[in-house]
């Protein structure tokens, strides 16, 4: 199992395109968007602080969602999943290794945005806030790792990329990771606040504001995690019986 995690990780770190989009790209957007001065309406946070959490969450989302869904769908179709079932590796091992390696890559996606924000945009937070932010955004990314696994078992090799893209951009934009959802029309805001990405970013902002997280956001994240993980487990079992 460890050997598979190590190999998955080696492969992820070797993939420049994947590293660019999950680690470099969020920081680039951060620098482009955080130029405005002043506060984001109603949050009491500077634009830089606000966007920092958005982009750290976005980067983690990219790392865990993009890698998992497409690889699982393709490797299911290509027969690698079958080949692994001929080894003593437990059935869940494949999915766990994928998730673990994605979780390792998501950590630099978060930290690099923080470093850029602190160095270039002078974002200052208390030490506990930096650690809590890193921990919360990293832990929250498992919700989307589970979603990536579910999509990987749901979609065929041809369909997986468009489906992942729609889900990825839909969740990023509607959840307010690219622009504050307070700039949306009211009807869209009403939808956005139920999305896991919205709750995800809200969790980080609460830490920046030194506030306790909103129980509704926690509940939404937990509910989506159970939904995605349950769905992934069900689809995995269905796939195993079919194979």
Buried b (16+ CB within 10 A) or exposed e, 26-38: bbebbbebbeeee
The residue range among 8-16, 61-69, 120-128, 141-149 that interacts with other proteins, by the rule CB under 8 A, is: 8-16
Which residue lies nearer to other proteins by CB, 75 or 208? 75
For residue 46, what is the DSSP state? Answer: B
Q: Which of residues 48-77 bind other proteins (CB under 8 A)?
A: 74-75
Tokens of 160: 């997986």
Half-sphere exposure of 227 (CA within 13 A, CB side): 10
- Read off φ and ψ for residue 46, nearest 5 degrees: -65, 160
Contact call for residues 135 and 204 (beta carbons, < 8 A) = no
219 binds other proteins (CB under 8 A): no
11 binds other proteins (CB under 8 A): yes
- Binder to other proteins among 20, 28, 41, 85 (CB under 8 A)? 85
230 binds other proteins (CB under 8 A): no
As measured in angstroms, the least distance from the Cβ of 69 to other proteins is 15
214 binds other proteins (CB under 8 A): no
The residue range among 1-9, 58-66, 148-156, 169-177 that interacts with other proteins, by the rule CB under 8 A, is: 1-9
88 binds other proteins (CB under 8 A): yes
Q: Is 184 left (phi over 0), alpha (psi -120 to 50) or beta?
A: beta
Compute CA distances 57 → 26, 34, 146, whole Å: 9, 15, 16
44 binds other proteins (CB under 8 A): no
87 binds other proteins (CB under 8 A): yes
Residue ranges in contact with other proteins by CB under 8 A: 3-4, 7, 10-11, 14-15, 74-75, 78-83, 85-89, 241, 243
């Amino acid at each position: 199992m460890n050997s598979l995690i190590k190999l998955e990780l080696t492969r992820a770190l070797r993939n420049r395109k994947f590293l660019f989009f999950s680690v470099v790209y969020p920081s680039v957007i951060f620098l482009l968007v955080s130029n405005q001065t002043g506060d984001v309406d109603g949050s009491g946070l500077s634009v830089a602080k606000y966007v920092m959490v958005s982009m750290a969450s976005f980067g983690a989302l990219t790392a865990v969602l993009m890698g998992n869904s497409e690889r699982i769908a393709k490797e299911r179709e290509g027969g690698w999943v079958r080949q692994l079932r001929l080894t003593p590796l437990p059935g869940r091992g494949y999915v766990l290794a994928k998730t673990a390696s994605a979780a390792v890559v998501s950590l630099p996606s978060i930290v690099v945005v923080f470093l850029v924000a602190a160095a270039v945009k002078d974002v200052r937070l208390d030490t506990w806030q930096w650690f809590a932010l890193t921990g919360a955004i990293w832990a929250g990314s498992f919700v989307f790792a589970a979603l990536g696994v579910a999509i990987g078992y749901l979609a065929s090799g041809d369909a997986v990329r468009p489906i992942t893209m729609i889900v990825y951009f839909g969740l990023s934009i509607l959840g307010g990771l690219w622009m504050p959802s307070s700039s949306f029309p009211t009807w869209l805001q009403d939808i956005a606040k139920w999305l896991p990405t919205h709750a995800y970013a809200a969790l980080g902002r609460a830490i920046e504001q030194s506030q306790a997280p909103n129980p509704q956001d926690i509940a939404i994240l937990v509910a989506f995690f159970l939904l995605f993980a349950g769905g992934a487990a069900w689809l995995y079992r269905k796939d195993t019986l079919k194979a």
